[in-house]
Structure 1
Amino acid sequence: MTTEATTTDFHAFTENWLEWYRAQEARLAAPHGFLAITGLHWLDHRPQRFPDAPGAWRTGPDGVVVDLGDGEELVVDGTPVHGEHRFGVLPERGGVDAVWGDAVIEIARRGGHDIVRPRHPDAPLRTAFTGTPAYAPDPRWALTGRYIPFDTPRPTTVGAAVEGLEHVYDAPGRIEFELDGRRLSLTAFPGRGAGRLMVLFTDATSGVTTYAANRVLTLEPPAADGTVVLDFNRAANLPCAYTDLATCPLPPADNRLPVAIEAGQKIPRERGGS
């Protein structure tokens, strides 16, 4: 390969990474993204009012209910609602967004619990956000691995950023790869989109230059022969890296890599990163 071709390829690699990085930052800092969250409220059978959302909220066998007082309104699926409104039983990792003025009230189910999580565009964490530090992209960290599906998906319980909370994923398989001559593997979880995979992991940089609890790598569907690309340059922070108002899952025990993955996003400035 000529030097010119190498330079062109690296330029394209860097531009592709920058496009991914900017999209990550845009989603995070959107007007109703994770940096806009102002509270994480856990529901039970008792009606509760919160300072950053209208109404009195409760949950039970029939799902989440809000009782809106005089002059209070939410817009659900484009329709204004008043008085009592029933959101019903929510699926795990599912949720509904209700609009309240310029805010969005997220009603969701996480780890078997129903929560209300308001998102306000003027949240200080969002308005002060200046971007996430990251390692410079390097093709060395774009590795080829092999996906090995399990005979049947394996229910895998992992911890969460919130103490006492657990998440359960049906792991479809594992990914084997080599780094500097060392054979490594990662358990994969289903990703968003048909055939896509998600890998939660830590490594020797965790708590040093990268966020201690977790990072996530999203993978395109494996090829017919099981080949899959692990581009660790795109190892991303989960919302819990920025805010304590997130319920992010932790990696399974066997996804704690004994090597330093010096690629991807670093510790956010909000957590003392530089």
Structure 2
Amino acid sequence: MTVQSWAQWHAEHERHLADPHGFLAVTSLNFLTTNPRRFPDAPGEWSTGPEGVVVDLADGEALTVDGAAVTGRHAFGVIGERSGVNARAGDAVIEVARRGGFDIVRPRHPDNPLRLAFRGVPAYEPDQDWVLTGRFVPFDVPRDVTVGAAVEGLEHVYESPGRVEFEVNGAPLALTVFNGRTPGSFFALFTDETSGVTTYPANRSLAIDPPAADGTVTLDFTRATNLPCAYTDFATCPLPPAENRLPVAVEAGEKIPYERLTAATRR
């Protein structure tokens, strides 16, 4: 790790957060039922049932789904867990997704004040001491791990292929990991002794590249990131499993967002 490479990574991460239709653009989180409901920030009446999510669009209302204009009644079909469809409504994106066993509608408007006021993410200065070497220890059989969520009453289930063992100042530690976005990679959800002090209380996430042939992995805590729930209450982020509450202060990676610090000073 170099300071320059970290700065480039951090700047790219901030650009991703500021995307016109990213999580900072979300204006509401709506859990669907069989009872059709209308939301002020999305066209149509929305419901869910055996055929999946359905929207009934009134005269003059329209969506664009997969590049095609949609009017009247449209069925999105059954959506898989942690999957979703983005429909367009003018400048907005209407996210239709399934999280924790529930179908949701989550509109994203580029002019959302949270996004417009975004001024970056505070973080610890990069420190090579927090780039650690660990060892991936696979389970005999991958395990389904149930974790809580930022939304009360919601749960997520992730497949865990194993754990990563490492040391901090001679103390043996371990993190249960989940399968990452790319084949062979992992990610870990964790809290530590900085959580609720200088870092977001609920969770942080650490991406881990695939292990070497001998199981060696790199844990670059300087790139530990906040999840969307650190910025908005309209996120359904998973919480770490209990064993991933590290009994050390990981003074690396992203800190409590400015938006949460500002909100805290207003209370």
Q: Normalised by the shorter chain, which TM-score bucket?
A: over 0.9
Q: Which residue of 1 aligns with 2:205?
A: 216
Task: Give how far 1:187 is off.
Answer: 0.1
Task: Give how far 1:107 is off.
Answer: 0.2
Q: Which residue of 1 aligns with 2:48?
A: 59
Query: Is 1:117 aligned to residue 106 of structure 2?
Result: yes
Task: Give how far 1:24 is off.
Answer: 1.3
Query: Is 1:151 aligned to residue 140 of structure 2?
Result: yes
Q: 2:11 aligns to what SS in structure 1?
A: helix
Q: Which residue of 2 aligns with 1:238?
A: 227
What is the count of residue pairs matched by the alignment?
263
Query: Is 1:197 aligned to residue 186 of structure 2?
Result: yes
Q: Which residue of 1 aligns with 2:195?
A: 206
Q: Which residue of 2 aligns with 1:139?
A: 128
Taking only aligned residues, the RMSD between alpha carbons, in angstroms, comes to 1.0
Q: 1:32 aligns to what SS in structure 2?
A: coil
Query: Is 1:161 aligned to residue 150 of structure 2?
Result: yes
Tell me the distance in 2 between the aligned counterparts of 1:18 and 1:195.
26
Task: Give how far 1:111 is off.
Answer: 0.2
Task: Give how far 1:224 is off.
Answer: 1.1
Q: Which residue of 1 aligns with 2:27?
A: 38
Tell me the distance in 2 between the aligned counterparts of 1:205 and 1:146.
24
Q: Which residue of 1 aligns with 2:7?
A: 18
Q: 1:80 aligns to what SS in structure 2?
A: strand
Tell me the distance in 1 between the aligned counterparts of 2:259 and 2:18.
13
Tell me the distance in 2 between the aligned counterparts of 1:80 and 1:222.
45
Q: Which residue of 2 aligns with 1:8?
A: none
Q: Which amino acid aligns with 1:15?
A: Q
Task: Give how far 1:33 is off.
Answer: 0.4
Query: Is 1:265 aligned to residue 265 of structure 2?
Result: no
Tell me the distance in 2 between the aligned counterparts of 1:190 and 1:144.
19
Q: Which residue of 2 aligns with 1:250?
A: 239
Q: 1:223 aligns to what SS in structure 2?
A: coil
Task: Give how far 1:161 is off.
Answer: 0.2
Task: Give how far 1:153 is off.
Answer: 0.8
Q: Which sections of structure 1, spanning at least 5 residues, go unmatched?
A: 1-11
Tell me the distance in 2 between the aligned counterparts of 1:20 and 1:217.
14
Q: Which residue of 1 aligns with 2:89?
A: 100
Cα shift readout 1:15-34 (whole Å, capped 9, x = no counterpart): 11112111211111100000
Tell me the distance in 2 between the aligned counterparts of 1:224 and 1:31.
41
Cα shift readout 1:194-223 (whole Å, capped 9, x = no counterpart): 111010000000000000000000111111
Task: Give how far 1:105 is off.
Answer: 0.3
Tell me the distance in 2 between the aligned counterparts of 1:78 and 1:23.
28
Q: Which sections of structure 2, spanning at least 5 residues, go unmatched?
A: none
Cα shift readout 1:116-152 (whole Å, capped 9, x = no counterpart): 0000000010001111100000111000000011111
Aligned residues with identical type, % of pairs = 67
Tell me the distance in 2 between the aligned counterparts of 1:187 and 1:78.
40
Q: 2:60 aligns to what SS in structure 1?
A: coil
Q: Which residue of 1 aligns with 2:216?
A: 227
Task: Give how far 1:58 is off.
Answer: 0.3
Q: Which amino acid aligns with 1:246?
A: A
Cα shift readout 1:43-93 (whole Å, capped 9, x = no counterpart): 000110000000000001210000111011100111111101110000000
Tell me the distance in 1 between the aligned counterparts of 2:225 and 2:60.
42
Q: 2:210 aligns to what SS in structure 1?
A: coil
Moved over 2 A (4+): none
